[in-house]
Chain A
Amino acid sequence: MALIIDLKPGEKILIGTAVMTNDNQRTRLHISGDTPILREKDIMQEAEATSPCRKIYFLLQCMYLARNPRDYHAKYFTLMKMIQDAAPSTSIFCMKINAQLVQGHYYKALREARDLIAHEDELIASVSALKN
């Protein structure tokens, strides 16, 4: 079944290894096949990976784009272990992300990683709120 993506005017999308920029009107794409697809809003640059859990998102994104995702497994597990040791409640998100990765569902793993980032943000915000 084809994936349907609506692009806003000027919106960028990564399909495989090519970046496409939509012209000045809305466009609907029907995409079949098995290639990495990332919308502009999903992309995180390395400089934006400013917290441990954001770095996990960034590594997942790299796995998704890599021909051989195994190149990133060591970095991913090292960082995930550090995060889990520091904050054991993140294990839930880690298990959910891993369940997607084992099936080769990198895009779904990225979605789970968004929850991990939200969890991290909420935890840190709670301490800031207490200080204030």
Chain B
Amino acid sequence: MSLVFTSPLQKSLPSLTATMTPQHWEKAITDFITQKQTETVSLIDRLDQNIRILENQKEKATSLIHILEEAGGLTVRARNMLTTPEDATKYTTQIKEVEEWFRQVRLKFDKAALESGIDGINLMNGDRLETPFDSKGQNKLITEGMVLSCAELGIRPPDFSTAFTTQNARIDVMNAIDIVVTVRNTISAHMNDLIISHDFAIQAVELAKTSYANLGSSNIDTETKGLIKLGILGDKILGEEKMADQIQQEILNSFAASPNMEDI
């Protein structure tokens, strides 16, 4: 029986030759699969670790947003006490009290941001998380953090002496919320990307485990027959449903139906 040997196969694995023994052929392919499998297993470990870090950092970003919402609530409270020019004098004590609470919330925010780290990474304090997808680190996903302190976010110390300065404080807080929400969205998007890769990698390793089974009995005759047999199943190969979901099918249809030069 002839060994399976095609030009694409040799291009993919140059150590294969048409004249090698079946044992050497099997070993070359097995070694290749084992190497890729090992790389994928180690990638899964890295992904596991970084997904855990991103999950944690997303929660921390959410906590920071809650603190900022608390600060925003205080600015509303102060603003509601300042509906007329006389109110600043009338409610001096209460306004000072709200200013003090706001000051405390600022401190709480800065402390929480500084203490948000996990495993030496704190995206809330300007760190970056790198997720290398290959052993050489040539391809990696970088999640950039930001220094999320009141000073960096532009939240000024409280001055609720007038409606104008109180409104400024409110704008500071709202802008800061927007920034932290953006950081959280970035973390969340990267976490989703890593989860997709992680799920795929686990299934890829499972598939790799089964790929060794039939290598020993492989020859050009059985492989060709096997592929032709699968090909006969045609569109039923994956059951009754279409391979493409509706949205992807519509994209492909629109491509086929896009206007030609005469239509423009």
Contact = CB atoms under 8 A, between A and B. Distances in A.
Interface of A: 9-10, 12, 14, 17, 19-21, 23-24, 40, 43, 45-46, 49-53, 55, 58-59, 61-62, 65-73, 75, 77-89, 91-96, 98-99, 101-105, 115-116, 118-120, 122-124, 126-127
Nearest to A115: B8
A98 to B, nearest CB: 4
Interface size of B as a range: 35 or more
A45 B248 CA distance: 11
Interface string B213-251: 111001011011111111100100110001111011101
Interface in B30-61: 32-33, 36-37, 39-40, 43
25 contacts: A21-B258, A40-B255, A45-B252, A46-B249, A49-B243, A51-B231, A58-B243, A65-B248, A66-B245, A70-B200, A81-B207, A83-B227, A86-B226, A91-B215, A93-B8, A94-B207, A95-B32, A95-B211, A99-B40, A115-B8, A115-B11, A120-B227, A123-B220, A123-B223, A124-B228
Given A49-B243, A78-B238, A101 B200 contact: yes
A88 B12 contact: no
A73 to B, nearest CB: 6
Contact of B226 (A66, A87, A101): A87
A58 B37 CA distance: 24
A52 B255 contact: no
Contacts of B247: 65-67
Contact of B227 (A49, A50, A86, A118): A86
Query: Could you tell me the dominant secondary structure of chain A's interface residues?
Result: helix
The 3 closest A-B pairs by CB, nearest first: A86-B226, A87-B223, A91-B211
B245 A62 contact: yes
B224 A124 contact: yes
Interface stretch (B69-77, B85-93, B176-184, B191-199): B191-199
A86 B36 contact: no
A84 B261 contact: no
A97 to B, nearest CB: 9
B83 interface: no
Contacts of B214: 84-85, 88
A85 B193 contact: no
Contacts of A93: 8, 12
